[in-house]
Amino acid sequence: MAVRELDTQVKTTPGVLHEELPRRAFLLKLGFLLNGIAGVFVGVPVLGYLFSSFRTTGPFKSWVPLGPITSFPENKTSLAKYQNPNTRPWDGQTTDIPCWVRRMEGEKFQIFAINCTHLGCPVRWFEQSHLFMCPCHGGAFYEDGSHASGPPPRGLYEYKYKIENGQLWVEGGQLPTLSQPLS
């Protein structure tokens, strides 16, 4: 459209050589084409950068040490922290991820994510009533992590763990959600 308008304008303007017309139309097309190609060269890296998180599809979880198993007394549930394995230097305190470690008899453990399965608030352990309670909407879980009451749709998220040379390891590094629980 623009090209045609330009053409008629040029045609009706006296003193313009006719040889110029095809060259102008060609230049305009060339201009669009060049910018289109350049746009792809700019756009692809920008989009690739923006959505880079989709390229690195994990696994984001890796084995992280929680400390010697002797630091967790038997038949007790205690708060522990592990270092986020995918950390960056400016992460600050957000690298310390808390979790609840329940040691049963011997070398049997249960490691629960801190996040309530309802909306992710940090659940607290009550030694006296053997319950995890959530401060947000009142979800409660039994000591084995199963759902006791309130709005949560399932029991607490449970980490995979392993014991090597007396050290407790946890497979951490990902925020558990209903569509992506830990195991």
Partner 1 sequence: MSMIERLRNVALWIDERLYISRIFAATAGHHVPRSSSSWFYVFGSGTLLCFMVQIVTGICLALVYQPTAGQAYTSLEYLNYQQHLGWFLRAMHNWGSNFMVAIMLLHLAQVFLFGAFKYPRELTWISGVVLLLCTLGMAFTGQVLRFDQDAYWGLGIGAAMAGRVPIFGPAIVHMMLGGPIIAGATLSRFFTLHVFVIPGTIIAIVSMHLRLVLTKGINEYPVPGKPVVKETYIEDYEAEIKKAGVPFFPKAISKDLVFSGLVLMGIVFCAAYFGPAGPHGVPDPGQINTAPKPDFFFLWLYAVLSLMPDYLETVLILTVPFIAIIILFAVPFISNTGEKSARRRPIAVLSVLGIFAVLASFNYLGRFAPWSPKMDAWTSATLPANYLEGRAPLERQGAVVFHSKQCINCHSVGGAGGLRGPTLEGVATRLTSDQLVRQVIQGSGNMPAYGKNLSPAEVAAVVSFMQTLHKPSEAPARDATQSALAQK
* Binding residues vs partner 1 (CB under 8 A): 51, 53-54, 58, 60-61, 79, 81, 84, 86-98, 114-115, 118-124, 126, 128-131, 133, 135-138, 140, 142, 148-151, 153, 173-175, 177-180
Least distance CB 70 / partner 1 (angstroms):
21
Nearer to partner 1, 41 or 51 (CB): 51
DSSP state of 79: E
H helices of 51-162, where?
52-55
Beta-strand runs (E) in the chain: 62-68, 76-83, 96-103, 109-113, 124-126, 131-133, 140-142, 147-149, 158-159, 161-164, 167-172
Least distance CB 43 / partner 1 (angstroms):
17
Nearer to partner 1, 69 or 151 (CB): 151
Q: Which two tokens stand for residue 119?
A: 């909306």
Least distance CB 129 / partner 1 (angstroms):
4
Least distance CB 74 / partner 1 (angstroms):
18
Q: Say how far apart CA 54 and CA 33 lie, in whole Å.
A: 30
Q: Say how far apart CA 61 and CA 169 lie, in whole Å.
A: 12
Least distance CB 18 / partner 1 (angstroms):
38
Nearer to partner 1, 48 or 98 (CB): 98
Nearer to partner 1, 101 or 163 (CB): 101
Least distance CB 78 / partner 1 (angstroms):
12
Q: Say how far apart CA 127 and CA 150 lie, in whole Å.
A: 19
Closest CA to 61 of 169, 161, 174: 174
> Do 179 and 92 contact (CB within 8 A), yes or no?
no
Nearer to partner 1, 9 or 71 (CB): 71
Nearer to partner 1, 14 or 153 (CB): 153
